[in-house]
Every structure is written in C-alpha cells, then in structure tokens.
C-alpha cells in the first residue's frame, strides 16, 4: 500500500466551531465560527496506566509478570492566542461578551465563577516543509489537525508586564458527535468522506494531508451552514 508523507511545520490558522452538548455542530442563525491567529497549540495525551500483575512463588521466583497496555483517555490541549477575539470567549471560556449597539459589537468579556459549559471543535492548519510542500499535481499541501469535540475549558495564565500579554486556555477532548461527519458544516471538509463517520465516534484527534486551502484568520464570528 502506498501513502503520502509530509513534514509538518509552523501553524497557519485555527478554527473554532460551536457545538451542542452532544458534540454536534450548531448551524444556522445561532451558530458561531471563529477563525483565529494563535501562537501555540500544545497537545498532551492522557493515559490510564495498564494494570500490572506480578506475583512470586513461595520460593521467591517470578510466577506471573504481565502488564496490560495503557489506555488513551483523552487529549489535554493548551492554546496560546496571539490576539483576543471577544466573539470567541462565550463559546470557549463560557464568558459573557461585552457588547454595544454600534457597528462593532464585541469589545471585551466578563468571566464568572462556576463550571465551564462550552463545547466546541478546534481545527488547526500547518504548512508542509521541504519537497512535499506541493502535491504531485503542483498544488500546495497543508496538514489538517482536528479535535472534533473540546470541553472542560480552563483559563490559563495571563501575565501583564513589560511584554505582550498572551491569552491562554486549556481543554479536554472527547470523541466527535455523530453529526460532525467529515468536518463541521457544508463545504468545509478537510477529511476524506469515505469511511470516516463511524470511526469518528471513537477518535479524539484527526491528522490529514490536504490540498484544500485553510481559512484566513479574521476578527469576529461567522455563521455555520
């Protein structure tokens, strides 16, 4: 079997899509899609250690020496944003957006005590380095990363000093909702459509080489259709 190999480098953009509590994309007038610039996305897999079985004989020799494989539970994502979009904060931080009636609506946010209720998917695009930067047909290639269901968001550190302040949030992942399909919404797929739907109900991280151009970061949210 042949495959396509690529060397990921840097990061171009990040897309946040509002989900319901079941992990399904919210569409229509109440939906929100934010394409943001970011400084870093760090992923830390969370494993449950496998059960170890070890027992000696009465003579002190090994009788049983076996360990079950570790079990992947979820990913923990830490995201550093290089700019803050107030439209993003209700759907990621469970914050209250500070709005006005002018042509520009969102100017800030307010964060209250209590549990996070936000559910969203996060997609991140990278460039491809070296000889594999373009496909055999001469089209530029990208690496598409998707975490189809993010929740349990926490606000990370925010430092105010003689330097740029970076907004940080931390979240857990879950498997995709049944309607996430090969990507959220119509005309936004960066995954092969065949055979993905059933597998997505168990997958927390998707990684794919694509020639579809990623969205461009901008301020404010858009609707998902």
- Whether 24 and 180 have beta carbons less than 8 Å apart is answered as yes
The model's confidence at residue 26, banded by pLDDT at 50, 70 and 90, is very high
- The Cα–Cα gap between 80 and 120 comes to 17
pLDDT digit string, tens, across residues 147-203: 999 999 999 999 999 999 999 999 999 999 888 887 888 766 688 765 555 677 889
pLDDT digit string, tens, across residues 33-89: 999 999 999 999 999 999 999 999 999 999 999 999 999 999 999 999 999 999 999
Residue 194 pLDDT = 53
Taking the alpha carbons of 132, 138, 140, 146 in that order, is the dihedral positive or negative?
negative
Per-residue tokens: 98: 């500070």
Q: What is the pTM of this model?
A: 0.90
Per-residue tokens: 77: 């994502």
Residue 81 pLDDT = 94
- Whether 225 and 27 have beta carbons less than 8 Å apart is answered as yes
């Amino acid at each position: 079997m042949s495959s396509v190999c690529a060397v990921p480098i840097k990061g171009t953009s990040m897309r946040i899509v509002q989900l319901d509590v079941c992990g399904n994309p919210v569409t229509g007038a109440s939906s929100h899609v934010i394409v943001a610039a970011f400084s870093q996305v760090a992923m830390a897999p969370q494993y449950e250690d496998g059960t170890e079985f070890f027992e000696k004989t009465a003579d002190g020799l090994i009788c049983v020496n076996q360990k079950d494989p570790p079990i992947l539970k979820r990913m923990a994502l830490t995201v550093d944003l290089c700019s803050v979009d107030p439209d993003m904060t209700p759907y990621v931080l469970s914050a209250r957006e500070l709005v006005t009636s002018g042509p520009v609506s969102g100017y800030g946010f307010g964060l209250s005590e209590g549990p996070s209720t936000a559910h969203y998917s996060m997609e991140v695009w990278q460039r491809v380095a070296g000889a594999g930067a373009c496909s055999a047909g001469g089209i530029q290639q990208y690496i598409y990363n998707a975490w189809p269901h993010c929740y349990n968001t926490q606000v990370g550190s925010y430092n105010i000093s003689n330097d740029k302040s970076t907004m940080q949030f931390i979240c857990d992942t879950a498997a995709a909702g049944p309607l996430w399909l090969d990507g959220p919404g119509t005309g936004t797929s960066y995954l092969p459509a065949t055979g993905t739907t059933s597998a997505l109900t168990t997958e927390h991280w998707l990684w794919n080489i694509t020639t579809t151009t990623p969205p461009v970061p901008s301020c404010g949210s858009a609707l998902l259709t």
